[in-house]
Amino acid sequence: MTCQQIVKTDFDKIAEVRSFDGDFGKIGIVGGDKCWKDIVSSLTEADKFVRKQLAEYEKDGVDLNAISLPTLEEYEAMVNEIPDYTDGKIMIARWEWLAKDVSEGSDVGLCVGQDGSTSTSCWGFTKR
């Protein structure tokens, strides 16, 4: 079962889950062993794509900084700065809403923080 399938069907079984928004939303901390392989695989594929695209742009003489993209060298330096990005725990949020309650072009969002903390992570979605 993929990580996405686990979160959709068995989230409560693999994490300490808190519900919100009338049970439409769930958030939990999951041990990395449950989803880590999927995440690393996705990031590896994305990294290959980015490296290939940047190399092709540079080969074609595109000024990447002029279009707010890093050079391949700058990208590689950024990637090399985050080898120990996580301690193996993953925070996963899942939020569903009834399609009839959100019209096209409407925005919905979610912010996660800790009481007394100044750190908050937020996600926003626009229905298209």
Residues contacting residue 26 through CB under 8 Å, at least 6 positions apart: 11, 12, 17, 18, 19, 20, 93, 94, 95
Domain ranges within the chain, ordered by starting residue: 3-96, 98-128
Helix (H) or strand (E) holding 49: helix 32-59
**From first to last of its 128 residues, what are the pLDDT tens digits of the chain?**
677 777 777 777 777 787 777 777 777 777 766 677 777 788 889 999 999 999 999 999 999 999 999 999 999 998 887 766 666 667 777 777 777 777 888 877 777 776 666 666 777 778 77
Is pTM beyond 0.75? Reply is no
Contact 17, 25 (CB under 8 A): no
